[in-house]
Chains A and B, each alone.
Chain A
Amino acid sequence: MSLALTADERRIAGGADGAAMAMRIVAESASLLGAPRLIPIASAHIDGALYHGDSGTLFAERLVEGGAQVAVRSTLNVGALDLMGCSRVRLEEPQRSMARRMMEAYRKLGCEQSWTCAPYQAGHRPAFGSDVAWGESNAVVFCNSVLGARTNRYGDFLDIACAISGRAPDYGLHLKENRRATLVFDVSALPPEFLASEIAWPVLGSLYGREAGNAVGVVTGIPRNPGEDALKAFGAAAASSGAVGLFHIDGVTPEAPDAETALGGITAEITILVTAAMVASAQARLSTAGNTERIDAVAIGSPHLSLDEFGALQRLMAGRRLAVPIHACTGRHVLAELDRNGQRKALEALGVVIVTDTCVVVTPILPDSAGGVLMTNSGKFAHYAPGNTGYAVLYGSLADCVESAVTGRPVFARLGS
């Protein structure tokens, strides 16, 4: 089936300005994907403003010179710099200036200066069933799964091109038939105390992503809604270990009032009965540091921390000074609150490094440390930190991360203790 554009779309694509360039990029992608048409979108979340090299900056500036403006609400994912100046990014010139120019170009295109990978907690929550074009794997999976809006995984360049044209290729998860679960991930055999623990969600997400790949699955056996921060951690981990774009949770997520509905009344192709041994092995795989008595840094906030998560951090620290810094990554939507209620001052005084607008795995913030060990409670950080920062990873709960940062060596509480 070949792509059919409307007369209006053809007219725009035939121009010589930024809008024409954006329309051509969307149309060419649609052709490659085999989409029959373009559909209107309600919003976009743009992952393309993270500096990977000069060509991306030049592209964004070309769109600006061509007078392009986003046609729909467009929030920005993290950039390579902490524009709020909370943390020091060790990006050198000329890359630093090119990264700044890139961030500036996306602002000029009309994107909101959200600079967060958790836009859904910064007030950008598209309506159930609406079509949107979102980038950033964790935001994509949250948008599809928890909000029930419809998006594919829009990568660099295509995200901004969709935002400018206000259109996206009609394929993949925009189509209802592709949102049906074909796989069941049954956790009912796991101990209730594990399912109630904080690490259950990132660990299960990591296991789920590896098992599901790019299939749509439904998780069954969850006794109650674990809350938005838990779903955020699950999705982020799943989208790091697999190409997960959408999951359902029986009785929790909006397209799964029950498992049968999520499966569309059809028997699942695969049913995975999750055992305690599978969970233990998934948890072990999140750590790469082996047996170690050192930690050099702690990083939390992938996806970006919510105000609630900062509350949990502060309660666990209980006024104690840190021997090893905790890098707490978040967006400026949360920073404003932390400034207002005095939490920022209190946390920074105890040794927390708040990182805003960016995060520690996408740009150099952690000190260069040969053989360094990074502790985290994030399944996503655990996945990307070894390759992107050179640090080995120790995975633990937030409580473990705090105790370890206070004492300066790895401390693990036993589950349930």
Chain B
Amino acid sequence: MSARGNILVAGKPGQGPALVLSAPISFWGGVDPKSGRIADVRHPECGQSMSGKVLFLPGTIGSSSASAVLMELVHAGHAPAALVLHEPDAILLLGLIVAREMGWETPVAVRLPREMFAAFEGRQLQVGADGAISVSN
């Protein structure tokens, strides 16, 4: 199984297990910036960590400090291995843009239709710098 996403923000290719979120999330207040653990008690994937995962995001909600939380995850080495979004989320992705300006290595962020997310659930994935998403052996 493979797919080709469009690059939203260029970055380092990533590999890791897929984490497909089943609901949108607020990064500020919903994700622990020190660890990448999902901390929002009302979120279905609460308790799971996005650190090192290929994160499939069905949207973000809430505070415009999402960018600050994502940049903090990058800086502290707890960012997802790659991000997959169905639409460009300018506030969240700004965290990657600014981190890159700071000279920190950022994960690649790609765009993929939401209906394709589910097929990757539970797989070990590779996301290339060109946006190619494939299942690794």
Contacts and interface: CB of A to CB of B under 8 A. Distances in A.
A53 B29 contact: no
A393 B18 CA distance: 37
A343 B88 CA distance: 50
B102 A155 contact: no
Contact of A155 (B29, B67, B76, B101): B67
Interface in A58-77: 58-59, 62
A28 interface: yes
Nearest to A158: B94
B93 A135 contact: no
10 contacts: A25-B98, A47-B65, A52-B65, A53-B33, A53-B76, A55-B71, A56-B68, A59-B102, A137-B63, A155-B91
A52 B66 contact: no
Interface string B63-81: 1111111011011100000
Given A34-B88, A48-B68, A56-B71, 12 more contacts: A32-B8, A52-B68, A53-B33, A53-B68, A53-B76, A55-B71, A55-B75, A59-B98, A137-B63, A156-B67, A157-B98, A384-B29
B64 A156 contact: yes
A388 B64 contact: no
Nearest to B109: A32
A58 B94 contact: no
A21 interface: yes
B94 A157 contact: yes
A56 B72 contact: yes
Interface in A379-403: 384, 387-388
Contact of B94 (A29, A62, A384, A388): A29
B73 to A, nearest CB: 9
Nearest to B100: A28
Contacts, number: 88
Interface of A: 21, 24-25, 28-29, 32-34, 47-48, 50, 52-56, 58-59, 62, 135, 137, 153-158, 243, 384, 387-388
Contacts of A29: 90, 94, 97
A280 B28 CA distance: 29
B64 A155 contact: yes
B4 to A, nearest CB: 19
B99 interface: yes
Contacts of B97: 25, 28-29
A59 B93 contact: no
A132 B80 CA distance: 34
B29 A388 contact: yes
A52 B28 contact: yes
A34 B74 CA distance: 25
Contacts of B9: 28, 32
Given A33-B88, A158-B94, A388-B29, A55 B99 contact: yes
B96 to A, nearest CB: 10
A155 B71 contact: no
Contacts of B94: 25, 29, 155-158
